[in-house]
């Protein structure tokens, strides 16, 4: 299987502590044995090569270990705790811990193994996750929690050994409940690290989830992540995602609008620089109408960076009354940066309003000139415009709990853009 030795994988899964997850693990293993990890010949993986992360997985399977916590990781936790009033659950190096003293009202957590087994994996990375997880986290939201619920995915790499982490979180929001969720991915250390996170979010009738995702992992660390969102009638999902760090990052966001009146709005911003590979794949299934989906992703690429964006909206037969919009805008700031973008529509209904717009381009020359005529230097003017480009996503933040922290992060990252003066 594409870089991962099956014998080692089988042996490792066999050695996991017996649990109610065993049958699911076996089924996942079987799927992996048949299909393996996708190669770039697979349409969904055309621009993203998993060979490196498969090699890390294999190296880890050869010498499995759990990294120990680092001072940098501890300091970061303290920083986040003081940055905002959020009830954090910490998923660190494979173990799960609540950082809050008392369980927030309306939130009940349990282990995946205490729940009915998860559905059969629909893709290879979920299969890999299901086969290898020791356990997962299930969060039930039954009321409207006062503070945002935070999920901090933190990986410490304390030595130079290849490290692998698999995490799974299932969130269920009861009918009529509303919850704010922060999903934060961070990692520390210099060794090769690969994290594979699987999340599901089920929204009951009239439920609302506002979701903020921040990914600022170490530059040598890779992440594949999948979030499946299912919406019942009149449920709403609002999300903004910020990808700043990491080496290879692949996000799969799948939104299933299975009932009338459901709505999903999600925005994304990726700042992708030297040595980074950032791949966003979104899919929205409109199964009935009326239902609405809007997505807007913006990318800033600099250095030897590769960005991939693939947005797909599928309007199923009978889903009349669908309103779907996709947007992807990219700023290419360096000669070595590349963007591959593909907004897809598959429509099997008639009464639909679907549109997509994609652009790849540079800063507006007229705006640059205008700013310079007001006395800004060329470099200042460019940075200002890049900041303005990114600000559109910040303006779309679904809630403000982490906005100061986030703006600081963004500005730090933007300041790292070196070759912004590329001649146009």
Total interface residues for other proteins by CB under 8 A: 37
CB of 341 to other proteins, least distance (A): 5
Q: Which of 342, 372, 387, 405 binds other proteins (CB under 8 A)?
A: 342
CA distances from 338 to 59, 341, 420 (A): 30, 10, 15
Rounded distance between C-alpha atoms, residue 221 and residue 389, angstroms: 27
Residue keyed to tokens 């001649």 = 423
Residue keyed to tokens 């130079």 = 160
Structure tokens at 285: 């299934």
* Residues in region 28-57 near other proteins by CB under 8 A: 43
Q: Which of 139, 233, 339, 368 binds other proteins (CB under 8 A)?
A: 339
- Comparing C-alpha atoms, which of 234, 229, 247 is closest to residue 288? 234
Build a one-symbol-per-residue string for 307-336: x at contacts with other proteins by CB under 8 A, - elsewhere. ----------xx-x---------x-xxxx-
Question: Rg (Cα) of the chain, in Å, rounded?
Answer: 21
User: Would you count residue 239 as binding other proteins (CB under 8 A)?
Assistant: no
User: Would you count residue 290 as binding other proteins (CB under 8 A)?
Assistant: no
For other proteins, give the closer residue by CB, 72 or 349.
Answer: 349
Q: Is 390 exposed, middle or buried (0-12, 13-18, 19+ CB in 10 A)?
A: buried
Label the pairing between strands 107-111 and 137-141: antiparallel
User: Would you count residue 361 as binding other proteins (CB under 8 A)?
Assistant: yes
Rounded distance between C-alpha atoms, residue 27 and residue 299, angstroms: 38
User: Would you count residue 341 as binding other proteins (CB under 8 A)?
Assistant: yes
User: Would you count residue 338 as binding other proteins (CB under 8 A)?
Assistant: yes
Residue 252 CB contacts under 8 Å (≥ 6 apart), including other chains: 123, 125, 224, 225, 226, 227, 281, 282, 283
Q: Which of 16, 360, 367, 409 binds other proteins (CB under 8 A)?
A: 360
User: Would you count residue 354 as binding other proteins (CB under 8 A)?
Assistant: yes
For other proteins, give the closer residue by CB, 16 or 354.
Answer: 354
Q: Which of 337, 381, 402, 414 binds other proteins (CB under 8 A)?
A: 337
User: Would you count residue 357 as binding other proteins (CB under 8 A)?
Assistant: yes
For other proteins, give the closer residue by CB, 96 or 347.
Answer: 347
CB of 359 to other proteins, least distance (A): 5
User: Would you count residue 343 as binding other proteins (CB under 8 A)?
Assistant: yes
3-state class (DSSP) for residue 53: helix
Q: Which residues bind other proteins (CB under 8 A)?
A: 43, 317-318, 320, 330, 332-335, 337-362, 422, 424
């Amino acid at each position: 299987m594409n870089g991962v030795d099956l014998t080692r994988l089988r042996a490792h899964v066999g050695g996991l502590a017996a649990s109610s997850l065993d049958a699911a693990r076996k089924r996942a293993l079987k799927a992996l044995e048949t299909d393996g990890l996708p190669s770039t010949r697979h349409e969904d993986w055309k621009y993203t090569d998993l060979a490196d992360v498969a090699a890390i997985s294999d190296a880890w399977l050869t010498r499995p270990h759990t990294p120990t916590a680092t001072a940098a990781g501890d300091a970061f936790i303290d920083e986040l705790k003081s940055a905002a009033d959020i009830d954090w659950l910490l998923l660190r190096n494979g173990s799960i811990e609540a950082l809050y003293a008392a369980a927030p009202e309306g939130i009940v957590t349990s282990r995946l193994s205490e729940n009915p087994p998860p559905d059969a994996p629909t893709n290879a990375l979920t299969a890999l996750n299901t086969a290898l997880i020791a356990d997962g986290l299930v969060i039930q939201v039954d009321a409207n929690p006062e503070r945002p619920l935070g999920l901090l995915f933190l990986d410490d790499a304390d030595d130079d050994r290849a490290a692998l982490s698999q995490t799974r979180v299932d969130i269920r929001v009861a009918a009529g409940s509303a919850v704010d969720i922060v999903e934060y991915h961070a990692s520390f250390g210099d060794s090769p690290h690969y994290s594979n996170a699987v999340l599901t979010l089920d929204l009951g009738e009239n439920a609302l989830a506002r979701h903020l995702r921040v990914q600022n992992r170490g530059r040598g660390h890779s992440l594949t992540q999948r979030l499946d969102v299912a919406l019942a009638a009149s449920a709403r999902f609002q999300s903004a995602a910020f990808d700043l760090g990491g080496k290879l990052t692949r996000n799969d966001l799948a939104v299933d609008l299975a009932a009338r009146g459901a709505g999903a709005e999600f925005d994304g911003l990726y700042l992708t620089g030297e040595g980074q590979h950032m791949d966003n794949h979104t899919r929205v299934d409109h199964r009935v109408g009326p239902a609405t989906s809007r997505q807007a992703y913006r990318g800033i690429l600099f250095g030897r960076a590769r960005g991939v964006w693939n947005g797909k909206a599928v309007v199923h037969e009978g889903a009349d009354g669908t309103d779907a919009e996709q947007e992807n805008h990219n700023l290419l700031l360096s000669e070595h940066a590349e963007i591959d973008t593909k907004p897809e529509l598959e429509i099997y209904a008639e009464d639909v309003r679907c549109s997509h717009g994609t652009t790849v381009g540079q800063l507006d020359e007229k705006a640059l000139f205008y700013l310079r005529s007001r006395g800004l230097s060329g470099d200042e003017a460019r940075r200002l415009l890049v900041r303005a480009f990114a600000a559109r996503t910040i303006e779309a933040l679904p809630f403000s709990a982490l906005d100061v922290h986030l703006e600081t992060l963004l500005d730090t990252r933007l300041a790292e853009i070196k070759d912004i003066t590329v001649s146009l």
